[in-house]
C-alpha cells in the first residue's frame, strides 16, 4: 500500500495520524471498513475512494487541490486526473449530490475540491475532540499531561498487539495488503464496466459499448483468461470491493476505469489492480478522436497485455493493429445497436432485436467496411433463432457471418455464428466442427464458442468431451449458465435445477433461465413449478398473453392440457417447429409431435440434440423417429 491518506503537504498534528470514524452530514464514515452508512443502509466503497473522502474531511470547508489529493491517495503510483474524478463521481453518487448545487462536495474550477457538508469526528484521544472543521480542542475535566501520555502509550501498545495478531493470522487479508511482497503473476483478468464520466446518463450506452470492445480485444490473448462481458456487467452498480469481486470471479487482477465523451473526443482511463492485494499496479489515460474509438481500445488492450507480461502470438499482435478509423455516426449506431441487443430476452421481445438490426444496418450503410457490425447482425439472428423458425433466420445469420469474414477472416464471432448455422441448420457436421474450432482458436476466452463446440460434441454422443467444453465456458462466464444444458442432457435434473436457481439470484429476468427451469421441473414431475417458470419465460420474451393463457388452462385442466394449449399458441405464433414438437411430446400427443418434427426437418430447424434431449424420450422407440435421426446424419 502507499502512504496513508492523511499524508498531505500541509502541517499535520500527531493526533491526526489516527483515522477514526466521522460523520459527513447524516452519513457515518468508517474508514477501517471502507463503508458509509445512513439509516441502516451501508454502502461499501473502494479503499482509495474512502481515502479521498478522508483527505477532504481533514480540511473540511477548505479547497484541496487535485495535486495534493492525488499525492496523498496515490503517492507511489502515477495516475491521471480521471482516476480522482472517478472517485469524486462515486462519492457524489452515494451522497446523491448534485455537482451544480452541491450539499457535500463542491468543485472549485481549475483548483480542486471542497467538502462543504459538516464533519463531526467521533474519535477521542488524550481528551481531545474535534469540531466540525477537524480542529482539536481539550475536553474539560478529563486530561492531565501524565494521564494522557499513559493512556496514549497503552493505546499504542494495545494497537500494536492487535495489529501483530491480525497480521499473523491474516484477518481480512491484512497481511497480504500490508506486507504484499512480490505481486503474483497475472494470468486472469476481469474488466469491470467503464464508468461514464461524460456528465450525461444518455451516454451510458457508449461506455457500455467501449467496455464490451475492450473485453473482446483482451479475450483474443490466448495467454490470458478473460472473464466474459455478461459476467462483469452485473458489477456496474455494486458496493462490493475490488478484492471481493476478484475473489468471486477467480481472477488475478481487475481492470477498472472510466470513459469521458465530449464533442468529437473520447478519453479513457484504466487501472490495473491486483486481485490479491489492495494495490494499484498500473494506470494510464488515453485520448483520441471519437472515430478512433475502436483503435483506442486495441491500443489499451495491447498496453494491458504488456503490463501483465502476457506472451502474444504474432497473429494476436497483428490483430491489435488491425483496427481502423470509423465514421462517427456509424460508430454511434453500432453502440446503440449493442444496447438494444442487450435488452432482448430480458423483459423485451423481438421489437428490441429488430431495433438492434436497424442500428447495425445503419452503421453498415454509413461504413460498408464495418465488419463487426455484420457480426452483430449475425448475433441478433442467432438470438432470434430461439423463437423463430430456422428457415426464416438461419440464411440471414449465415449471410451476415460470411460477409463479416469476407471483410476480416480473423473475427472469432463470425466463425462462431457460421459454425452454429452449419450445426443447427445445414447439419454440416464436419463444417460446423471446423468453424467452431476456429472460433475457439481465435478467441480462447469466448464462452459462447466453447458452448457451441460442446453442443457439437453432445450431438455426436461425445458427452464427456462436451462436458469439458461446457465447464470451460462456465469458468469464462461464471455469472452465466453453461452447464445446465449438459446436466439436462445427462438426466441430472437436480444439479441443473440447483445451478439455474442460483443463476436467478444474479439475473432474475433472464428468459432462457426460466425456460430451462421449466424443462427440468417437467422431467422431475414438478408440474406446478414447471408451469410457473414457463409463464415467466413467455412473458420475458414479450408474450404475456400466451403466459396468461397457459396459467388459466393449467388451473382448470391440469398440466398436459396446459402444455398442449401452449404448443397450439406456439403454432399460431409460428415459432420453432422443433420446439412445438417437443411440447406435444411432453403433452403425450405422439402423433402431433412426430408431425411437427417432420415439419422441422423440412424447414431445417435445429434438431441437433434429437439423440440427447430428454423431451423426445417418449418418441425414441417409434421407427419414424429413428428414421429422422438417420436422415439428419446423427449417429444412432
Using one digit for the tens of pLDDT, what is the confidence trace for 58-70? Answer: 988 889 998 888 8
pLDDT band of 389, cuts 50, 70, 90 = confident
In this model, does residue 111 exceed pLDDT 90? no
pLDDT band of 78, cuts 50, 70, 90 = low
Residue 66 CA to residue 8 CA, distance in Å, equals 11
In this model, does residue 17 exceed pLDDT 90? no
Cβ count within 10 A of residue 635:
11
Q: Are 330 and 308 in contact (CB under 8 A)?
A: no
- Length of the chain equals 636
Nearest Cα to Cα of residue 242 among 295, 292, 302, 177: 177
3-state SS, residue 625: helix
| C-alpha cell belonging to residue 501 | 436457481
3-state secondary structure 573-598: CCCCHHHHHHHHHHCCCHHHHHHHHH
- Please state which of the four CATH numbers 1.25.40.10, 1.10.10.1800, 3.40.50.720, 2.40.50.180 is assigned to the domain occupying 326-478: 1.25.40.10
3-state SS, residue 258: strand
In this model, does residue 345 exceed pLDDT 70? no
3-state SS, residue 28: strand
Q: Is 525 left (phi over 0), alpha (psi -120 to 50) or beta?
A: left
Beta partners for residue 344, in sequence order: 348
493-506 vs 511-523: helix axis angle to the nearest 10? 160
3-state secondary structure 220-239: CCCCCEECCHHHHHHHCCCC
| C-alpha cell belonging to residue 157 | 501498545
Residue 236 CA to residue 195 CA, distance in Å, equals 8
Residue 19 CA to residue 38 CA, distance in Å, equals 20
Sequence-distant (≥ 6) Cβ neighbours of residue 70 within 8 angstroms: 79, 81, 83, 84
* Pairing between β-strand 225-226 and β-strand 253-262 as defined by DSSP bridges: unpaired
DSSP state letter for 194: P
Sequence-distant (≥ 6) Cβ neighbours of residue 31 within 8 angstroms: 5, 19, 20, 21, 50, 51, 54
3-state SS, residue 44: strand
3-state SS, residue 373: helix
3-state SS, residue 367: coil
Say whether pTM exceeds 0.75: no
Nearest Cα to Cα of residue 413 among 385, 456, 373: 373
Which of 123-146 are b and which e, b meaning 16 or more Cβ less than 10 Å from the residue's Cβ?
Answer: eebbbbbbeeebebeeeeeeeeee
Residue 280 CA to residue 277 CA, distance in Å, equals 9
Residue 333 CA to residue 365 CA, distance in Å, equals 10
Our CA angle for 162, 165, 169, nearest 5°, is 140
In this model, does residue 125 exceed pLDDT 50? no
In this model, does residue 381 exceed pLDDT 70? yes
Domain boundaries, the chain: 14-138, 145-178, 188-314, 326-478
Q: Are 269 and 87 in contact (CB under 8 A)?
A: no
Element (H, E) at 98: none
| C-alpha cell belonging to residue 326 | 470509423
3-state SS, residue 306: helix
Q: Are 72 and 58 in contact (CB under 8 A)?
A: no
Max mean pLDDT range (2-11, 148-157, 294-303): 294-303
Determine the CATH number of domain 188-314.
Answer: 3.40.50.10610
Residue 134 CA to residue 22 CA, distance in Å, equals 10
pLDDT (tens digit per residue) in 277-314: 768 888 888 888 888 888 888 888 888 888 888 888 88
3-state secondary structure 119-150: EEECCCECCEEECCCCCEEECCCCCCHHHHHH
Sequence-distant (≥ 6) Cβ neighbours of residue 163 within 8 angstroms: none
The number of helix segments (H) and strand segments (E) in the chain equals: 27, 16
DSSP state letter for 62: S
In this model, does residue 392 exceed pLDDT 90? no
> What architecture is the 14-138 domain classified under in CATH?
Orthogonal Bundle (1.10)
Q: Are 212 and 169 in contact (CB under 8 A)?
A: no
> Could you give the dihedral angle defined by the CA atoms of residues 324, 327, 332 and 335, in that order, rounded to the nearest 10 degrees?
-30
Q: Are 363 and 330 in contact (CB under 8 A)?
A: yes
| C-alpha cell belonging to residue 199 | 456528465
In this model, does residue 3 exceed pLDDT 80? no
Residue 472 CA to residue 103 CA, distance in Å, equals 49
pLDDT at 183: 60
pLDDT at 158: 57
Residue 232 CA to residue 224 CA, distance in Å, equals 16
Beta partners for residue 112, in sequence order: 65, 108
More confident residue, 517 or 157: 517
**In 170-310, alpha helices (H):** 174-178, 204-219, 229-232, 242-249, 293-307
3-state SS, residue 478: coil
Q: Is the dihedral of CA 43, 45, 49, 51 positive or negative?
A: positive
Our CA angle for 228, 608, 489, nearest 5°, is 70
Max mean pLDDT range (134-143, 309-318, 403-412): 403-412
Mean pLDDT of 21-27: 89
pLDDT band of 407, cuts 50, 70, 90 = very high
pLDDT (tens digit per residue) in 457-502: 999 988 889 999 999 999 999 888 889 989 999 999 999 999 999 8
In this model, does residue 16 exceed pLDDT 50? no
Instruction: Tell me the Cα Rg of the chain.
Output: 29
**How many CA atoms does the CB half-sphere of 154 hold within 13 Å?**
8
Amino acid at each position: 500500500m502507499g502512504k496513508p491518506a492523511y499524508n498531505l503537504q500541509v502541517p499535520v498534528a500527531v493526533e491526526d495520524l489516527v483515522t477514526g470514524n466521522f460523520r459527513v452530514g447524516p452519513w457515518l464514515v468508517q474508514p477501517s471498513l471502507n463503508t458509509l452508512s445512513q439509516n441502516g443502509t451501508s454502502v461499501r466503497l473502494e479503499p482509495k475512494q474512502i481515502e479521498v473522502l478522508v483527505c477532504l474531511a481533514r480540511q473540511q470547508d477548505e479547497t484541496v487541490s487535485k495535486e495534493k489529493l492525488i499525492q496523498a491517495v496515490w503517492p507511489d503510483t502515477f495516475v491521471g486526473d480521471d482516476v480522482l474524478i472517478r472517485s469524486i463521481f462515486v462519492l457524489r453518487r452515494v451522497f446523491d449530490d448534485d455537482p451544480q448545487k452541491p450539499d457535500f462536495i463542491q468543485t472549485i474550477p481549475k483548483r480542486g475540491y471542497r467538502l462543504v457538508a459538516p464533519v463531526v469526528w467521533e474519535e477521542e484521544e488524550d481528551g481531545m475532540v474535534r469540531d466540525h472543521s477537524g480542529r482539536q480542542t481539550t475536553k474539560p475535566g478529563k486530561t492531565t499531561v501524565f494521564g494522557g501520555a499513559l493512556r496514549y502509550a497503552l493505546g499504542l501498545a494495545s494497537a500494536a498487539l492487535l495489529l501483530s495478531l491480525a497480521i499473523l493470522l491474516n484477518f481480512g487479508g491484512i497481511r497480504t495488503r500490508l506486507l504484499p511482497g512480490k505481486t503474483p503473476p497475472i494470468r486472469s483478468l476481469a474488466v469491470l464496466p467503464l464508468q461514464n464520466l461524460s456528465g450525461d446518463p444518455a451516454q451510458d450506452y457508449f461506455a457500455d459499448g467501449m467496455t464490451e470492445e475492450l473485453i473482446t480485444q483482451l479475450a483474443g490473448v490466448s495467454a490470458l483468461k478473460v472473464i466474459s462481458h455478461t459476467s462483469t456487467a452485473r458489477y456496474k452498480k455494486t458496493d462490493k470491493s475490488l478484492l471481493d469481486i476478484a475473489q468471486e470471479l477467480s481472477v488475478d487482477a481487475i481492470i477498472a476505469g472510466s470513459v469521458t465523451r465530449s464533442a468529437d473526443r473520447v478519453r479513457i482511463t484504466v487501472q490495473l489492480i491486483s486481485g490479491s492485494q489492495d494495490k494499484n499496479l498500473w494506470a494510464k489515460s488515453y485520448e483520441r478522436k471519437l472515430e478512433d474509438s475502436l483503435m483506442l481500445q486495441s491500443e489499451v488492450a495491447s498496453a494491458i497485455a504488456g503490463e501483465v507480461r502476457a506472451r502474444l502470438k504474432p497473429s494476436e499482435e497483428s490483430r491489435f493493429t488491425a483496427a481502423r478509423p470509423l465514421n462517427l455516426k456509424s460508430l454511434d449506431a453500432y453502440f446503440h445497436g449493442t444496447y438494444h441487443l442487450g435488452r432482448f430476452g430480458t423483459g423485451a421481445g423481438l421489437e428490441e432485436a429488430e431495433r438492434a438490426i436497424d442500428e447495425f444496418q445503419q452503421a453498415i450503410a454509413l461504413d460498408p467496411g464495418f465488419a463487426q457490425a455484420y457480426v452483430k447482425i449475425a448475433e441478433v439472428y442467432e438470438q432470434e433463432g430461439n423463437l423463430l423458425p430456422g428457415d426464416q433466420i438461419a440464411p440471414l445469420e449465415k449471410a451476415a457471418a460470411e460477409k463479416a469474414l469476407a471483410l476480416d477472416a480473423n473475427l472469432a464471432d463470425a466463425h462462431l455464428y457460421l459454425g452454429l448455422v452449419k450445426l443447427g441448420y445445414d447439419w454440416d457436421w464436419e463444417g460446423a466442427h471446423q468453424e467452431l474450432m476456429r472460433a475457439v482458436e481465435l478467441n480462447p476466452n469466448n464462452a459462447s464458442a466453447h458452448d457451441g463446440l460442446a453442443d457439437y460434441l453432445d450431438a455426436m454422443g461425445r458427452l464427456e468431451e462436451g462436458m469439458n467444453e461446457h465447464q470451460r465456458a462456465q469458468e469464462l462466464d461464471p455469472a452465466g449458465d453453461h452447464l445446465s444444458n449438459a446436466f439436462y442432457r445427462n438426466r441430472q435434473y437436480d444439479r441443473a435445477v440447483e445451478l439455474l436457481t442460483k443463476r436467478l439470484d444474479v439475473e432474475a429476468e433472464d428468459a432462457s433461465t426460466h425456460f430451462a427451469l421449466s424443462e427440468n421441473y417437467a422431467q422431475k414431475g414438478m408440474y406446478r413449478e414447471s408451469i410457473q417458470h414457463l409463464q415467466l419465460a413467455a412473458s420475458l420474451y414479450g408474450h404475456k398473453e400466451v403466459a396468461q393463457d397457459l396459467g388459466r388452462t393449467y388451473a382448470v385442466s391440469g398440466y398436459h392440457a396446459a402444455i398442449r394449449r401452449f404448443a397450439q399458441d406456439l403454432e399460431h405464433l409460428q415459432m420453432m417447429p422443433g420446439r412445438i414438437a417437443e411440447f406435444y411430446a411432453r403433452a403425450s400427443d405422439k402423433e402431433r409431435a412426430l408431425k411437427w418434427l417432420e415439419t422441422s426437418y423440412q424447414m431445417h430447424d435445429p434438431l441437433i440434440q434429437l439423440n440427447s434431449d430428454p423431451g423426445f424420450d417418449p418418441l425414441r422407440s417409434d421407427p419414424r423417429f429413428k428414421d429422422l435421426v438417420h436422415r439428419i446424419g446423427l449417429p444412432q
